[in-house]
Structure 1
Amino acid sequence: MSNFLKRYIAILLFGTSALLNASSLTESVRAPRLQDSLYFDNEPIDKRSYDDLKAKYSDDDFIYERSVDQSGWWTRFKQWLSDIFKDLFDLNSDAKASDFTDLALTIFYVVIFLLVVFFIVKAIINKEGKWVFGKSSDKSIIPVTDLENNIHVTDFSTLVEEAEGSGNYRLAIRFYYLWLLKALSEAELIDYDVEKTNSDYYYEITSEATKKEFSYTSYLYNYIWYGEFDIDDLQFQRAKKAFTRFLNTIKV
């Protein structure tokens, strides 16, 4: 076999082999790739619901940072009070201190409310309720009524007798004191005015002996009338003696 023929057969075989390899490569490229299998879960889903999570986790236990710089004065006051209680009672959390503060403030509100109700009821029951709503005994000797405005035409002797006869000793002492002011005014020892105080009348009196008597009877009047103390017959007789003795010494 000639060399030319051998070369031709070799080239033919090489070309055929190359064509077969190219065809095989093309088929492998065109062949679909196998994919891993996937598991699909078709079980029903248990749907969970949460009610008002924002409100649930807004409690003091879930507040980790507190900012009161831009809060109102009441919030700052409660925070200040809460910090005091926390240090005072060695509370181990801000939540406990806050709860204790709320409890203390609630008790305070209740006590204030009860006190207000007490004073209102007492003022209503007490006919002379002006000691709550009006001037105190140091500012005004007596409430302004028709009796005090007409002191110079009032028969205090009869009023005292009626009050004493009914056992109303406090009222009798009140009439005695008004009677005394009437006598001092008519004797021109004082200038009577319903708005004047005991101290005003005291400094108007020039006689030291009269000042002493007036000071003592004023004390009796304030103690018995404004103090609202119930006095027995013996105590009344002692006070009555002091007033009648003073009245007898005043010269009109």
Structure 2
Amino acid sequence: MTLLKYCFYIILSVQLSAAQHKDAVVKYDDSVLDVKEISENDLETYKTDDDFNYVEAVPEDNFIIRAYNRFIEWLGNIIREFFEAIFGVGESQGILYFIFNVLPYLILAFLIFLLIRFFLKVNSRTLITGQKETAGFQFTEDEQIIKNEDMHALIDNAIAIKNYRLAIRYYYLLSLKYLTEKQVITWQQEKTNEDYITEIKSEAIKSNFKNITRIYDYVWYGEFNIDQLRFESLKIPFESLNNSIKN
């Protein structure tokens, strides 16, 4: 019985080995191929079909698109230069260069101009604080002097004590008084001489007033002492202007 089992196993193993060998044999396809040929006419059908058009459409380059692209490029450069200027990477150019490098100096110059204008509007007594006039003459406010009905007496008294600087000052204030009375200017304590020049409409009066203003600034604010001979020459433009205003 045992012998029969061994024989059965041997026969089964041989059959399985033969079957595996049979499956391992490569089979080649020897059927006839039917080759399809495409003619040029067939291709033309596909060329004219939009579904087979794979060319990327290029947008039209018109004025609006060019302007938009340039604006975006300009804005990008501005932003880049802005951050470069803030964080110290590179140097700012164009409008940012003006803002960061030029504008501060312009603001400073404007502030200096306002400061100078403020001091010019301060009355002359404040500008020469501590000075005393000779022979008992006390320096008074411009408004008080202009409203004094005896302005000529003040001029004569200043000449009598040889205080020619003070006489020139009174001559100038007398001119302001005449111009105010004739409504050529509107006198105010806080106004500057340049303000009065701007108000004068007559070119002849404006030219003469500019001349006496230059003399007044030179003698009074420049604190130049003048003698009698020089005074006699300097007072002529004042008297000429005052006479023309009164007439």
Would you call these one fold, judging by a TM-score over 0.5?
no
With structure 1 as the length reference, what TM-score do the two structures score? Answer: 0.44
With structure 2 as the length reference, what TM-score do the two structures score? Answer: 0.44
